[in-house]
Structure 1
Amino acid sequence: MTFSVDAIKELGLSAADAIKPKKQELGQEQFLKLMTTQLTHQDPTKPMENGDFLAQMAQFSTVEGIGSLNDSFQAFASSMTSSQSIEASGLIGKSVSVPSDKGVLGLGSPLEGNIKLNGTTNQATVSIKDTNGVVVKTLNLGSQSEGLKKFEWDGLLDDGSYAPPGVYSVEAEATIGGKNTGLETFMAAKVESIDLGDPQKGVVLNLGQLGAVEFSKVKQVF
């Protein structure tokens, strides 16, 4: 957007001021003053073309509109965060299902989760590994239809003893369409607290031994 030197001087601005990046942001009142002043100083033999005048007005309207839109988005984002905070606070003490390849075997509580099948299968398995990556238990789920399918492990090992409580890795696979396919797993964990500290991530749930996970990734609440 360009204004004449006479118009700029009449408003008490120097040419240097007019081209400084920080001075390019004009308020509505200052813009209108510049526009009016420029019209009074224009050459009568070469008046501003209607197209030029409308173009300058359109540029200002666009800038004003973008500013208003940005403010609206910020207000909307703030409202969404507040809404999520209220909703997430009600999850404290409840169990949720989130995308994860790790699960928690508690003292007296099983390791629970779901596998996601993109088709029917006649054989689905879940391998549970310890911290060294050694398979300590394989759960045979047999034939399953498409969708989310629940599984759980009470910690019982093949030798009749029980595995110690803690975090275990989970790996699932199934034969779908004649091919051995890796499956996405969703693990259950109890929400211990919520964190509102990082505006970039939004509301974050603290799932104890499973760590922190964004509220938007919660698949189920139970």
Structure 2
Amino acid sequence: MSAIGSVGSNSSTNNVTSALQAQTLTQNDFLKLMTSQLKNQDPLKPLDNSEFVSQMAQFSTVSGIQNLQNSFSTLASSLSSGQALQASSLVGHNVLTSSSKAVLSTGGKISLAVDAPASGNVIVNVTDSSGQLIRRIDLGAQASGLTQFQWDGIDNNGAAAPAGQYNFTATVGTGSQSQAATMLAAGKVNSVSLDSSGALNLSVDGIGSVAFSTIRQIS
């Protein structure tokens, strides 16, 4: 019963598609209609040449826009393929990407960076998954832009923090003049994928899935 319903549904869809295609006016159809209009026009009220040219120009404009859209679609596909090829070459390389979290391995370190919007004293706070402050890192006075550093995995008490995911926030400035700064983390690219919208994503060790557009450095 379901098979018959499926066939009927497909047949209806095909009929609708055919009807829509039949209603589409091509340039040849337009020229035929214009020729017929010229042949059967009222001799006492002939078609105005300027109106004829205007209608032709309008049709040509629509046709040109459609061709331009097709060209842009082809170009976008080409650029996407080139970007995918470039991204695939990153597998096995370390990248620096915008991220406020990273995973600490047992006895390991995490490579990080702060993108400060202005020069000033930079402070980085490390918290665990429950939000508890684990380490406060004072990077001192830094210029605006990227400042790279490593967290050695040691907490405020001088003990090794347990393996797991940690969160990072940063501020630049002093006292009431301090402002938030962007955190970045580094990791090795494990794989590259393309999502349903055509955007490229990288699977970065210790960070997770990140957009290709967020990559700041490659090493």
Would you call these one fold, judging by a TM-score over 0.5?
yes
CA distance in 2, matches of 1:52, 1:64: 18
Give the alignment partner of residue 173 of structure 2, picking from 168, 172, 175.
Answer: 175
Unaligned runs of 5+ in 1: 1-19
Kept in 2, the 8 Å contact 1:120–1:176? The answer is no
Aligned to 2:40: 41
CA distance in 2, matches of 1:61, 1:171: 57
With over 3 angstroms needed to count, the CA separation of the structure-2 counterparts of 1:53 and 1:210, relative to structure 1, is same
Kept in 2, the 8 Å contact 1:99–1:186? The answer is yes
Aligned to 1:164: 162
Query: Which letter does structure 1 place at the counterpart of 2:135?
Result: K
TM-score normalised by the chain length of structure 2: 0.84
Q: CA deviation at 1:52?
A: 1.4
- Identify which range, 181-190 or 205-214, moves more after superposition: 205-214
Aligned to 2:72: 73
CA distance in 1, matches of 2:86, 2:203: 15
How many percent identity over aligned positions?
Answer: 38
- Identify which range, 107-116 or 135-144, moves more after superposition: 107-116
Aligned to 2:131: 133
Moved over 3 A (4+): 20-24
**1:207 has 2:204 as partner:** yes
With over 3 angstroms needed to count, the CA separation of the structure-2 counterparts of 1:220 and 1:176, relative to structure 1, is farther
CA deviation map 1:106-132 (0-9, x unaligned): 3454212211122221x2110011000
Q: CA deviation at 1:22?
A: 5.8
Aligned to 2:214: 217
**1:102 has 2:117 as partner:** no
Kept in 2, the 8 Å contact 1:104–1:189? The answer is no
CA distance in 1, matches of 2:210, 2:122: 27
TM-score normalised by the chain length of structure 1: 0.83
* SS of equivalent residue, structure 1 residue 219: strand
Unaligned runs of 5+ in 2: 1-18
Q: CA deviation at 1:81?
A: 0.9
CA distance in 1, matches of 2:40, 2:107: 86
Q: How does 1:174-193 map to 2 (within 5 A)?
A: 174-175=172-173, 179-193=177-191
